Amino acid sequence: MNYTKEWLCALNRELLIPGRGLTQGSQNPEKQRVFHMHEVRDKLREIVGVSTNWRDHMKAMEERKLLQSFLAKSQEGLPPRTMKDSYIEVLLPLGSQPELREKYLTVQNTIRFGRILEDLDSLGVLICYMHTRVHAAKMSPLSIVTALVDKIDMCKTSLSPEQDIKFSGHVSWVGKTSMEVKMQMFQLHGNEFCPVLDATFVMVARDSENKGPAFVNPLIPESPEEEELFRQGELNKGRRVTFSATSLLKMAPSAEERTTIHEMFLNTLDPKTVSFRSRILPPNAVWMENSKLKSLEVCHPQERNIFNRIFGGFLMRKAYELGWATACNFGGSRPFVVAVDDIMFQKPVEVGSLLFLSSQVCFTKDNYIQVRVHSEVASLESKEHMTTNVFHFTFMSEKEVPLVFPRTYGESMLYLDGKRHFNSMSVPVKLRKDCSEAP
């Protein structure tokens, strides 16, 4: 049976709507209450056993070595868990606690999506710790880190900074050492929490010193709906493998893609000279090389995560804000994020590193702008640069945007990659502005 993405989103919404589905039947009082977002990071520090004091981090890491004995030798030695076991609801009380708004506020009186990315990253890790909880140990022997942001789909153009926000999520699929996490975000509209976004993250478990992989508890679906979510997790894994295998860094473009690039090349030849070297832009077009923006960040201890590396949410926020500025500069109007996908965390970023971010528009269509942000690091001692992440953001502008044209073969590959990511998004629809437009 074939399931549409809209059907799966509706199914997941049924599971995650506050007060329904997975919230029923939980016997743990801690899970029955709703966390506040500031409590999420406090809870993570408690689970891992780290201090907020930077000077204490070496001592904390030494203490975590003693937890190695709690690690399972195989997945079969771990008790199975259900989706209910990891289900969490978290409140961001922007409406009821106005003092929180400053951190999340934009100059347009909307919410900073980069801050939401940080919150989703922290929540995803906590959900996985709920799934892998070891009751015999005060601290978890696992080091759980974000491996991939598979997909974030938006269903509202902008969010109010004056209404409460609620997050919810649970583990939806498990491998041997990895877990897929489904999360949703809602905002209060009248007396109802209305869906804002659906997010899928992939987390990996490592040993207590964060040096090697570690096994995680198997997941047992308890209903046809949960079985479908688990099956979709398997399909997502297969899709990621296929997408990686056909990467333009490994395989040549398809015949259709080669034709697209050749037609774009012909459209930029100057008819007056009939020369391959004489290139001109068609009307309402921009060379890809002229759509770039760059930034540099010094990675201070303040931005570290519970394992004393730079927080992945911070990296996503900085990449998103540069990508947003790139789309704004290119389109000439305020852009709205529509989708985030395929953010692979290839290498951890150490505290003290120099973080170089480079953003450029790589594909456009109508009023959509596909932005790619490349991040790399260099240590203060070494000038060698290493790629840590590649981020893909899809923005929607308030008006139609120019076409972007590649000039070189490398830029042509970026164009095709951007087009692939754009096409992987669900069929573009007009984002709803309030709950009354929700299906």
pLDDT per residue over 215-238, tens digit each?
Answer: 999 999 999 999 999 999 999 998
Whether residue 82 is predicted with pLDDT greater than 90 in this model: the reply is yes
| pLDDT tier for residue 273 given thresholds of 50, 70 and 90 | confident
Cα-based torsion angle of the residue sequence 410, 416, 418, 420 in order, rounded to the nearest 10 degrees? -150
Residue 258 pLDDT: 94
Cα-based torsion angle of the residue sequence 63, 65, 69, 74 in order, rounded to the nearest 10 degrees? 130
Minimum mean pLDDT among 23-27, 50-54, 217-221: which range?
23-27
Crossing angle (nearest 10°) for helices 409-424 and 255-267: 120
**Partners of residue 145 on adjacent β-strands:** 204
Residue with tokens 């891992």: 48
Q: Give the separation between CA 388 and CA 356, rounded to whole angstroms.
A: 10
| pLDDT tier for residue 323 given thresholds of 50, 70 and 90 | very high
Q: Give the separation between CA 101 and CA 80, rounded to whole angstroms.
A: 40
Question: What is the average pLDDT across 142-157?
Answer: 89
Q: Do 302 and 111 meet the contact criterion of CB atoms below 8 Å apart? A: no
Residue 52 pLDDT: 65
Question: What's the predicted TM-score (pTM) here?
Answer: 0.85
Whether residue 156 is predicted with pLDDT greater than 70 in this model: the reply is yes
With pLDDT > 90 as the criterion, what percentage of the chain qualifies? 50
Minimum mean pLDDT among 27-41, 350-364, 395-409: which range?
27-41
| pLDDT tier for residue 51 given thresholds of 50, 70 and 90 | low
